[in-house]
Structure 1
Amino acid sequence: MNIAILDTQTFGDVDLSLFDRFGQVAHYQTTSAIQLVSRLQQVEVVITNKVVLDANTLAQAPQLKLICVAATGSNNIDLSAAEQLGITVCNVAGYSTASVVQHTFTLLGNLLGNQHRYIQDCRAGLWQQSQMFCRLDYAITELAGKQFMIYGYGSLGQAVAKVASAFGANVVISERKGASVVREGRVAFYDALAQADIVSLHCPLTTESRDLLSHAEFQRMKPSAVLINTARGGIVNEQALADALGDNTIAAAGVDVLSQEPASTDNPLVNYQGDNLLLTPHIAWASQESIKRLLEQIALNIDSFIAGNARNRIV
Structure 2
Amino acid sequence: MHDIVFLDRDSLHATVRPPAFAHRWRDYSATGADQVVERLQGASIAITNKVPIRLDAIARLPALKMIAVAATGTDNVDLAACRARGIAVANIRDYSVVSVPEHTFALMLAVRRSLRAYAADVDAGLWQRSTRFCLLDHPIGDLAGSRLGIVGYGALGRRVAQIARAFGMEVVVHSRSRIDNADDPQVTQVPLDELLRIADVVSLHLPLSDATRHMIGERELATMRRNAILINTARGGLVDEAALAEALTKGVIAGAGFDVLSKEPPAPDNPLLKLRLPNFVLTPHVAWASAGAMQTLADMLVDNLEAWVAGKPSNLV
Q: Contact 1:55–1:81 (CA<8 Å) still a contact in 2? A: yes
Give the whole-Å Cα distance in 1 for the aligned partners of 2:257 and 2:287.
11
Deviation at 1:256, TM superposition (A): 1.1
Give the whole-Å Cα distance in 1 for the aligned partners of 2:145 and 2:96.
28
Task: Return closer, same or farther for 1:246/1:70 CA change in 2, 3 Å cut-off.
Answer: same
Relative to the length of structure 1, the TM-score reads 0.92
Deviation at 1:24, TM superposition (A): 2.3
Deviation at 1:145, TM superposition (A): 0.4
Q: State the match for 2:246 in structure 1.
A: 243
Q: State the match for 2:300 in structure 1.
A: 297
Q: State the match for 2:184 in structure 1.
A: none
Q: State the match for 1:191 in structure 2.
A: 194
162-171 or 57-66, larger mean C-alpha shift: 57-66
Q: State the match for 1:161 in structure 2.
A: 161
Q: State the match for 1:5 in structure 2.
A: 6
Q: State the match for 2:284 in structure 1.
A: 281
Q: Contact 2:19–2:306 (CA<8 Å) still a contact in 1? A: no
Give the whole-Å Cα distance in 2 for the aligned partners of 1:242 and 1:196.
20
**Mapping for residues 73-112 of structure 1, pairs under 5 Å:** 73-112=73-112
Q: Contact 2:15–2:298 (CA<8 Å) still a contact in 1? A: no
Deviation at 1:47, TM superposition (A): 0.7
**Mapping for residues 180-219 of structure 1, pairs under 5 Å:** 185-219=188-222
Q: State the match for 1:71 in structure 2.
A: 71
Q: State the match for 2:231 in structure 1.
A: 228
- List alignment gaps of at least 5 residues for structure 2: 182-187
Q: How many pairs were matched up? A: 309
Deviation at 1:105, TM superposition (A): 0.4
Task: Return closer, same or farther for 1:182/1:249 CA change in 2, 3 Å cut-off.
Answer: farther
Q: Which has the higher contact order (CA 8 A, sep 6+)?
A: 2
Give the whole-Å Cα distance in 1 for the aligned partners of 2:284 and 2:38.
31
Q: Contact 1:96–1:290 (CA<8 Å) still a contact in 2? A: yes
Give the whole-Å Cα distance in 2 for the aligned partners of 1:52 and 1:215.
29
Q: State the match for 1:19 in structure 2.
A: 18
SS of structure 1 residue aligned to 2:128: helix
SS of structure 2 residue aligned to 1:297: helix
Q: Contact 2:114–2:140 (CA<8 Å) still a contact in 1? A: yes
Task: Return closer, same or farther for 1:49/1:137 CA change in 2, 3 Å cut-off.
Answer: same
SS of structure 2 residue aligned to 1:295: helix
Q: Contact 1:143–1:167 (CA<8 Å) still a contact in 2? A: yes
Give the whole-Å Cα distance in 2 for the aligned partners of 1:32 and 1:206.
23
1:98-130 per-residue CA deviation (whole Å, 9 max, x = no partner) reads 111011000011111111111122222222222
Deviation at 1:55, TM superposition (A): 2.8
Task: Return closer, same or farther for 1:68/1:207 CA change in 2, 3 Å cut-off.
Answer: same
Deviation at 1:83, TM superposition (A): 2.9
Give the whole-Å Cα distance in 1 for the aligned partners of 2:168 and 2:219.
30
Q: Contact 1:182–1:188 (CA<8 Å) still a contact in 2? A: no
Q: State the match for 1:142 in structure 2.
A: 142
Identity within the alignment, %: 42
Q: Contact 1:174–1:192 (CA<8 Å) still a contact in 2? A: yes
RMSD: 2.1
Letter of the aligned partner of 1:286 in structure 2? A
Task: Return closer, same or farther for 1:37/1:182 CA change in 2, 3 Å cut-off.
Answer: closer
- List alignment gaps of at least 5 residues for structure 1: none
SS of structure 1 residue aligned to 2:231: strand
Letter of the aligned partner of 2:143 in structure 1? L
**Mapping for residues 123-134 of structure 1, pairs under 5 Å:** 123-134=123-134
Deviation at 1:7, TM superposition (A): 0.6
Q: Contact 1:41–1:63 (CA<8 Å) still a contact in 2? A: yes
Q: Contact 1:175–1:183 (CA<8 Å) still a contact in 2? A: no
Deviation at 1:268, TM superposition (A): 1.0
Deviation at 1:207, TM superposition (A): 2.5
Deviation at 1:21, TM superposition (A): 5.3
Letter of the aligned partner of 1:115 in structure 2? L
SS of structure 2 residue aligned to 1:38: helix
Q: Contact 2:153–2:175 (CA<8 Å) still a contact in 1? A: no
Letter of the aligned partner of 2:70 in structure 1? A
SS of structure 1 residue aligned to 2:98: helix
SS of structure 1 residue aligned to 2:67: strand
Deviation at 1:175, TM superposition (A): 5.3
Deviation at 1:85, TM superposition (A): 2.8
Letter of the aligned partner of 1:34 in structure 2? D
Task: Return closer, same or farther for 1:91/1:276 CA change in 2, 3 Å cut-off.
Answer: same
